[in-house]
Amino acid sequence: MKKLLIAALVAASGSAQAADVVYNTGREAPIAQDVARVYSWEGAYVGATVGYAKGEANIVPGQIYKDSGVAYGGFAGYNFDLGHGFIAGVEAGIGGNEFKARAGGNTFATSWNYDASVRLGYAFDNALIYGSVGYGVQDLNLRIPDTVSKGKSDGLIYGVGVDYALTDHVFTRLNYQYRDFRSNLVNVETKEKVGKMDLDQHFVGVGVGYKF
């Protein structure tokens, strides 16, 4: 009888230990997962640029003005995330340049310019590569001895660029723009048309912006 009782106690103890072993091995330690964070380009932004501009103004009849110099400006816009890395946006800008040239005793100069563009690009996380097309207006004047002709030249603007985010809010920019403008020149006193003008400008610049 004692032997049977002892055997039963030993068997019960072994079953409990086996159960403990199965229970302990069945527990799994939590595994930490590192989820990659993707930068978001969506939202409003503002910024400023400075760079180099080169232009040629062909004024009918028979005058060609060429010059180059420093150009500067500011911009503001809004990006829309289309998904799968594609970013669309709208952007407006204002700027000035030091374009001034002389030919045949006359002086041709440009001053402020204004533009609005649509953009489409692809984001590689912190880098956004884009192309743009838009419409722009350029203030200009032609100074002939005893006469000043002023006008506004307008036309299409084409551009490409790269924006690179340094932080969640601050980004840098490298961009190129080509401006293809046409206009009439008008005498400021008589209001008479004195000529036509084709203005081609190339701009390469760097900038810094802030995304809200």
pLDDT at residue 195 is higher than 60: yes
Higher-pLDDT residue of 190 and 133 is 133
Mean pLDDT of 112-136: 97
b (16+ CB within 10 A) / e for 72-100: bbebebebeeeeeeebebebebebebebe
Which residue has better confidence, 200 or 28? 200
Tell me: pLDDT of 130 over 60. yes
Strand partners, 186: 150, 193
Are the beta carbons of 107 and 131 closer than 8 angstroms? no
35-74 residue pLDDT tens: 556 899 999 999 999 999 999 988 776 788 888 989 999 9
The pLDDT score that the predictor gives to residue 169 is 97
For the chain, the structural domain boundaries read 45-211
| pLDDT, position 193 | 76
* pLDDT for the residue numbered 97: 85
DSSP state of 33: -
The pLDDT confidence band at residue 10, using thresholds 50, 70 and 90, is: very low
Q: Can you give the pLDDT at residue 189?
A: 74
Strongest mean pLDDT among 6-10, 46-50, 149-153, 196-200: 46-50
Task: Quote the pLDDT of residue 61.
Answer: 63
pLDDT on residue 196: 79
What six digits make up the tokens of 97?
């340049």
- Which pLDDT belongs to residue 212? 96
Please give the pLDDT value at position 19. Answer: 45
> So what's the architecture of 45-211 in CATH?
Beta Barrel (2.40)
